[in-house]
Amino acid sequence: MSDNLEYAHPEVLVSTEWLAGHLNEPGLRIIESNEDVLLYSTGHIPGAVHIDWREDLQDPLVRDYISPEAFAFLCGRHGITPETTCVFYGDKSNWWATYALWAFRLFGHTNVKVLNGGRDKWVKEGRPLTKEKPSRPAVSYPVPPKRYDAEIRAFYQEALAQSQNKLPLIDVRSPGEFSGEVTHMPEYPQEGVLRGGHIPGARSVPWKKAVYDDGTFKSADELHGIYTEGCGLDQGQEIVAYCRIGERSSHTWFVLTYLLGYGNVRNYDGSWTEWGNTVRAPIERS
């Protein structure tokens, strides 16, 4: 393993100390996005706005994300412009924060950062929380010309081609889900997946291997060992990550894209809830 590696894009991570000193910085918006959508109302970082990963970012009927027009409206009502730097944080070691960040990237918003350690680290350090919702003047956010699905998102047929061509597939779920022993995490409800297992050829690298116990990201050296050396990845490859519905794999997408600097990583957000229910989809168990 190489020694003393640095993150490819260290600027995308901010510490709790840094954020505490920049809460009122013009041109910066703090965005909380949690699995528990009620958590924000119990107390949040001062100035943070809440983006509900389901209600705000997903189409209410079709299994897809919102339109560019809806994204522009969402940003505008929160006082976000294309130039605004958005700092994302949330529960579950930033699963849903990186999911929201990935969704913002789908619409071409590139001024994004993550609070290292997320909500839990902020709270454990005794930093201030408030129940007061910020009042942000609405602004005009231009409708993005497109959604960048082809660049950072994979669909079923593309994941299938990745498998058939023996290109890198990273399954970030738990070992039990990967083996087919279970179809969901123990603390989660069964979501109607008919088959367990993994996509043929996928490597099992649970998302939590990328973080320490406090939810902060591991060093570049450690991440290099886990992904570059452990999975044999190289910069010229197309890489697809997946999980159950795309939230844990967005965390791994963030690690591979921003911390390790891989240039062609896509998140298969249909993930196992699509693959495990698709007629004739090939499945491996181990």
* Residues noted as catalytic: 243
Angle, CA 62 vertex, CA 264 and CA 250 arms, to 5°: 30
Tell me how far apart the alpha carbons of residues 284 and 25 are, in angstroms, rounded to a whole number.
50
Burial of 23 (0-12, 13-18, 19+ CB in 10 A): middle
Closest CA to 152 of 112, 107, 200, 111: 107
**Residue 248 burial by Cβ neighbours in a 10 Å radius (0-12, 13-18, 19+):** buried
Q: In what order do the strands lie in the sheet with 169-171?
A: 153-154, 265-268, 239-242, 169-171, 203-204
Q: What share of the chain is helix, strand, coil (3-state, %, to 5)?
A: 35, 15, 55
Compute how many other C-beta atoms are within 10 angstroms of the C-beta atom of residue 96: 30
Q: In the numeric block, which tokens belong to residue 22?
A: 């920049």
Distance in angstroms (rounded) separating the CA atoms of residues 122 and 168: 35
